């Protein structure tokens, strides 16, 4: 089981943000807690697309804590696989 952070750098105010996803909700929430991201900021909770948008400073903390760096294509593959698994096709 793994937590992933993508290479997106979307502007949000003065920050740049990326996505943090995981193989399981528990892992995602555990990493969020570990790097100081409030669980209430989870997006699309309970779906195959649940994730956090995190600042680059939090991304660095996540990588230091073991998150795997991926690109946006890899993110799309991970989310597609999770959706297929939830649909019973995987």
The string of pLDDT tens digits covering residues 4-59 is: 999 999 999 999 999 999 999 999 999 999 999 999 999 999 999 999 999 999 99
Domain containing 50: what range?
3-86
Q: What is residue 46's three-state secondary structure? A: coil
Question: How many domains does the chain contain in total?
Answer: 1
Above 60 in pLDDT, residue 86? yes
Which residue shows structure tokens 């997106």?
A: 8
Above 80 in pLDDT, residue 87? yes
Query: Quick one: pLDDT at residue 4?
Result: 98
Answer whether 0.85 is exceeded by the pTM.
Answer: yes
Q: How far from 84 is each of 9, 34, 47, 60, 77, CA to CA, in Å?
A: 27, 29, 11, 30, 10
């Amino acid at each position: 089981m793994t937590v992933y952070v993508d290479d997106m750098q979307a502007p949000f105010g003065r920050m740049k943000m990326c996505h943090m996803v995981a193989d399981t909700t528990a892992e995602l929430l555990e990493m969020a807690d570990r790097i100081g991201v409030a669980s209430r900021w989870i997006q699309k909770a309970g779906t195959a697309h649940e994730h956090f948008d995190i600042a680059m400073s939090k991304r660095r903390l996540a990588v230091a804590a073991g998150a795997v760096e991926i690109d946006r294509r890899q993110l799309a593959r991970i989310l597609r696989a999770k959706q297929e698994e939830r649909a019973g096709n995987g």
